[in-house]
Amino acid sequence: MTGLAVLPMAPATAGTEQAADVATSETDRINQWFDEKYEEELAFSPVEQTFIGRKTDYGLIDDFSDAGADRQLAWLRDAVAEMQSRFDYAKLAPEAKTSYDIWSYNLKQAEAGLPFRTNRYVLHQHNGLQSFFPTFLINTHKVETEADMLAFIQRLSGVATAIDQLLERAQTTAAAGTRPPRFAYEGVIDQSTKIISGAPFDDGAPSAIWTATEEKLQGLVDSGVIDEARADVLRGSARSALIDAFAPAYQRIIAWYEEDMPSSDAMPKGVSALPNGNAFYDYRLANQTTTKLTADQIHELGLSEVARLRADMKALKDKVGFDGDLKAFFKYIREDDQFYFSDDDAGADQYIAAAKAHINALKALLPDYFGILPKADLEVRRVESFRERDGAAQHYRSGTPDGSRPGIYYAHLSDMRAMPIPTLEVIAYHEGLPGHHMQISIAQELTGIPTFRSQAGYTAYSEGWSLYSETLAKEMGSYADPYSEFGRLTSEIWRAIRLVVDTGLHSEGWSEEQAVAYFLENSSIPEAAVRSEVRRYLVNPGQATSYKIGMIKILELRARAKQQLGDKFDIRAFHDTILGGGALPLGILEQRVDQWITDVKAG
């Protein structure tokens, strides 16, 4: 009987091994192809090459024209067609199937957005490209050799070409009836004016871009790469590029936005008021959430989440013994001096120091919750003066895959009354650890998957993870101060409010003041920050909904895994599954987690 039992197993085992060999062969082939295509795609963006730490095309700036976008879309169409013709999906290993699905998804999204090219606001006040360029040159373009400095100078002139391309696109969208609200015009003018104010553009104190130029030159002199005479020659070249190309391009931006501003809407409206606006907003929601949720569904979900979180906030208010209703407690948190650092540079320094301390304390606990840990360093910095805005949201900019440039958590600290202490801790976790820095750094450092996956970005995934990480930090023992726990609730209800307000503005016909009033009624966030937030939603429709949608999906997947795995559920393995494949559309992330659950059950 033993012989009879063994005989049927031999062909099955051989077949299994043969199938595995086929999957390995096809997977190896497609992974090599993915890496080749990633290099082709990367060639479209010298800026992205610099972001990931390469010095290829180091003196160039991306093509921001419509024609450039057309060329890149044509390339993507050809690439997906080639993928479909060359590789058998059924023969791929699961991870390779995920990569295949992502490429197909990306093309579908690009095609879906094509009809709405003139619906987008090209330049605006919220992290617009006009402020991105000097930030990129100052912080990301590293100068270690004379060739690096020559590339920096070349890019000063290249920015002018990019600015002119963007201006042409803005003029095209305006002619099609799409103009951002007037405050966005004012923001573009204000930021552009600040960028080209001061030396060498006028007799004022050195501008930020000139200060950076001098520091990069001095670094070369101090390290012995060049002497003072050569530095003077390069300084003259940089001054010429700034005065003859860089500044005139910004002046053209200022002139046109001033001229066209009377045609903009002084009373901001959502995009549904613009040509093809409803269809555009539906596209934006699908693009940003990577789901099929409608505006009505998202609006109702937001209302439900706001109600739930208000109840939690009321319970905490009662716990600290506050005598008054929740509205009065919001006012107390919003206005009492104990909840703010001083509104000066000393207060800003205190804020930065406190954020660093919270991040460092939590960092020691990460191995209990994660198997994969980031190698890249993290810095906390104040935003540069030329782009700092009162009440603007903090943000994160990634480092390089090789760790040569750290990730940076930036804070807007020009108005310390917009930066309450109770929310300091939760924001540090969101932007730093275990939030954006952890997720993005782990993705960049992944091995065993195609390179393009390590650099992918999907807002609902990345922002959903960072919002989830705020709650995870509580599990890890953070928020010892009850007011910091209230800050965590404030942060989560903030994202729930976004579901209501973003859809309210762009689908329900809400005014800016209605949105501000709803925000203030349901949170303790200072009014300056609220107004900045609402204006952000107005110029970037749909993006703000991605945070809560992504968090809810991750919590849903975690609950499913715990329910199905029982004692086999391991929080470290779950987090490694979420983070170990790079950023993914939520539907593909769900497939990944379901596969992990199946594997654990079988194991």
Contact indicator for 220, 226 with CB cutoff of 8 Å:
yes
**Mean pLDDT confidence for 539-565:** 98
| Residue 238 pLDDT exceeds 90 | yes
Q: Tell me the two tokens of residue 242.
A: 């700034």
| Residue 15 pLDDT exceeds 90 | no
3-class secondary structure, 381: strand
CA distance 121 to 82: 33
Contact indicator for 253, 167 with CB cutoff of 8 Å:
yes
| Residue 389 pLDDT exceeds 90 | no
Band the pLDDT of 588: cuts 50, 70, 90: very high
**What letter would DSSP give residue 397?**
E
**Mean pLDDT confidence for 491-495:** 97
CA distance 485 to 481: 7
**Mean pLDDT confidence for 226-252:** 98
- Long-range Cβ pairs for the range 192-198 (8 Å, 24+): 192/130, 192/250, 192/253, 192/254, 192/257, 193/254, 194/385, 194/386, 195/130, 195/131, 195/134, 195/250, 195/386, 196/246, 196/247, 196/250, 196/251
**Mean pLDDT confidence for 561-580:** 98
In tens, the pLDDT along 349-379 reads 999 999 999 999 999 999 999 999 999 999 9
Give φ, ψ of 381 to 5 degrees. Answer: -135, 155
CA distances from 439 to 235, 464, 476, 580, 581 (A): 40, 11, 17, 9, 10
**Mean pLDDT confidence for 396-412:** 90
**Mean pLDDT confidence for 372-396:** 89
What rounded mean pLDDT belongs to the chain?
94
| Residue 8 pLDDT exceeds 50 | no
Strands 407-411, 378-382: pairing kind? parallel
- What pLDDT was estimated at residue 6? 28
| Residue 190 pLDDT exceeds 50 | yes
- What pLDDT was estimated at residue 23? 62
**What letter would DSSP give residue 115?**
G
- What pLDDT was estimated at residue 7? 28
- What pLDDT was estimated at residue 51? 92
Band the pLDDT of 16: cuts 50, 70, 90: low
Q: Where are the domains of the chain?
A: 17-119, 129-266, 278-553
Q: List the alpha helices (DSSP H) in 196-227.
A: 208-222
| Residue 386 pLDDT exceeds 90 | no
CA distance 188 to 123: 7
Q: pTM for the whole thing?
A: 0.90
**Mean pLDDT confidence for 250-263:** 98
Band the pLDDT of 249: cuts 50, 70, 90: very high
**Mean pLDDT confidence for 179-197:** 97
Residues 6+ apart with CB under 8 A from 252: 163, 164, 167
**Mean pLDDT confidence for 81-109:** 97
Question: How many of the other CB atoms lie within 10 Å of CB of 222?
Answer: 8
- Please give the order of strands across the beta sheet that includes 378-382: 378-382, 407-411, 395-397
